Amino acid sequence: MGGPPLLSFPCELLALLLFLLCLQDFYKFDNIIVHSFAMVDQITEEKENALMPDISPSSAPQPFLPVLAPSPMATPFFNSSIPKLSGQCILNFSAVDSLISTTAVDCWTSFAPFLANVICCPQFQATLIILIGQSSKETGLLALDSTHANYCLSDIQQILGSQGANSDLQEICSVHPSNLSEGSCPVSDTDGFESVVDSSQLLTACGKVDPVNECCSKICQNAILEAARKLALRDGGLTTSMAINNTLIQHSSKIDSCRSIVLRWLSSRLDPSSAKQVLRRLSNCNVNGVCPLDFPDTKGVAKNCGNEIKNDTACCHAMENYVSHLQKQSFITNLQSLGCASLLGLKLQEMNVSTNIYSLCQISLKDFSLQVGTQESGCLLPSLPSDATFDPSSGISFTCDLNDNIAAPWPSASQASSSSCNKLVYTLSVRIFQWFNLNFKSC
């Protein structure tokens, strides 16, 4: 037929272009916004079901999906009460108005237990740090005494609750008045801090944090640790032997307390929005590095899938029944799902399950997360920090990465010791391979 000839690209160039697109996709995640959740009847489990662990409500949510947040006009459901403040807190809440509003949505009453690990608690803890940091511009203090810490934590909970947040955030996120104090750090004011720490060096390292590379390069994290070490060493705060041993320093209570002081000072030198970005990206390294799920006893799966599998159907039924209990706990990120899949696989291998039952039973990474209503599709949250949003017409929404349908990888010895950095590379490489295989088989 007539017309200009079709352009032809070498496969190598296509692969490069796809890699760049995949990196862009890593930031966007081809997001699907979940705008509605239908309330489903709470699933009643038989007490004699040995699969279910005995877990307290504070450690694992009950197996139902939260209802969509209603419009603020629906006064019977929307908590718009005026917060009852103590009048004794010295912190400047107006300096972090926007952060408080974001935290209230991230920790919305129905969603907080399900989003606690990935969104709610990191945001709540960042808000507390920034609140003290911003207030230090007026008070010069980077910590509160025990009396004011009690008042201020109660006040912030009251303010958040008045905007729709869960009333049990202190329990859900394990936050106590001591988290607002100086702990065992010998320095608790800005003058003392700046007389010990190289402020410009700290700001250079942490003024902006790379959302992808920081967890591996630890440029900011190392700068924070070095500053915390200097604070802890002030006035003989640590012995010489401890100063030499980095492992002891990193895990000492003084270092942990001084790390909090460093983060508060850093938050005082950045605007609240930038400080939030830095803190959430730092905490994200810890979030993605740990599987937050509670695993029930694997005996049922081992009985049907151990050694040589005699009945594939019985094995997969046992595995699907087991995974269904994981799907009632919480939303997790892409990287967390890799860690959870690896951890469960290793537990099963210890029970003499040698066959890759993830492949046999078609278990995907999404199967490890809370399932989204009647869609029967797990919602894997983005591995980068994200927030929920509130709209008067549609309620609470948050971003799910529902386009990733990656099979759960059966762990090998090398995967068992892999870090979150390696998991990130693994996720990207799998997506590139799948994308290339799907669209350019002719190459």
Contacts of 430 (CB under 8 A, 6+ apart): 406
Give the strand pairing for 332-333 and 32-34.
unpaired
Average per-residue pLDDT for the chain: 78
Q: What is the mean pLDDT of residues 51-66?
A: 35
**pLDDT tens digits for 148-170?**
999 999 999 999 999 999 999 99
Instruction: Give pLDDT, residue 406.
Output: 86
- As a whole number of angstroms, the distance between CA 274 and CA 280 comes to 10
- As a whole number of angstroms, the distance between CA 35 and CA 324 comes to 23
Asked if the model's pLDDT at residue 119 lies above 60, the reply is yes
Q: Of 21-30, 214-223, 286-295, 361-370, which gets the smallest average pLDDT?
A: 21-30
Instruction: Give pLDDT, residue 424.
Output: 54
Asked if the model's pLDDT at residue 9 lies above 70, the reply is no
For 248, half-sphere exposure in the C-beta direction (CA atoms, 13 angstrom radius) is 9
Which of 52, 130, 148 shows the shortest CA–CA distance to 93?
A: 130
Side chain identity at 105, as an amino acid letter?
Answer: V
Asked if the model's pLDDT at residue 19 lies above 60, the reply is no
Compute CA 259 distance to the chain's CA centroid, rounded to the nearest angstrom.
20
Instruction: Give pLDDT, residue 398.
Output: 84
Asked if the model's pLDDT at residue 126 lies above 50, the reply is yes
Lookup result for tokens 């307290």:
56
Q: How long, in residues, is the chain?
A: 443
- As a whole number of angstroms, the distance between CA 317 and CA 98 comes to 48
**pLDDT tens digits for 332-369?**
999 999 999 999 999 999 999 999 999 999 999 999 99
CB–CB of 253/261 below 8 Å?
no
Instruction: Give pLDDT, residue 433.
Output: 43
Side chain identity at 110, as an amino acid letter?
Answer: S
Contacts of 273 (CB under 8 A, 6+ apart): 98
What percentage of the chain has pLDDT greater than the value 70?
A: 69
Contacts of 90 (CB under 8 A, 6+ apart): 135, 139, 141, 144, 148, 152
Q: Which long-range contacts (CB under 8 A, 24 or more apart) does 13-18 make?
A: 14/436, 14/440, 14/443, 15/432, 15/436, 18/432, 18/435, 18/436, 18/439
Side chain identity at 46, as an amino acid letter?
Answer: E
Instruction: Give pLDDT, residue 248.
Output: 56
What percentage of the chain has pLDDT greater than the value 90?
A: 61
Lookup result for tokens 């930031």:
27
Lookup result for tokens 């942490």:
206
Token code pair at residue 364: 């995907």
Q: Residues 268, 171, 121, 261: is their CA dihedral positive or negative?
A: positive
Contacts of 426 (CB under 8 A, 6+ apart): 338, 409, 418
- As a whole number of angstroms, the distance between CA 38 and CA 138 comes to 47
Instruction: Give pLDDT, residue 80.
Output: 63
User: DSSP characters for 142-169?
Assistant: SS--HHHHHHHHHHHHHHHHHTTB-TTH
**pLDDT tens digits for 396-419?**
888 887 656 789 999 986 554 555
Compute CA 343 distance to the chain's CA centroid, rounded to the nearest angstrom.
18
**Element holding 21 (H helix, E strand):** helix 11-28
Instruction: Give pLDDT, residue 8.
Output: 43
- As a whole number of angstroms, the distance between CA 387 and CA 111 comes to 12
Confidence at 284, pLDDT banded by 50, 70, 90 = very high
Asked if the model's pLDDT at residue 200 lies above 90, the reply is yes
**pLDDT tens digits for 262-279?**
999 999 999 999 999 999
Q: What is the mean pLDDT of residues 316-320?
A: 97
- Domain limits, the chain: 93-288, 298-440
Side chain identity at 168, as an amino acid letter?
Answer: D
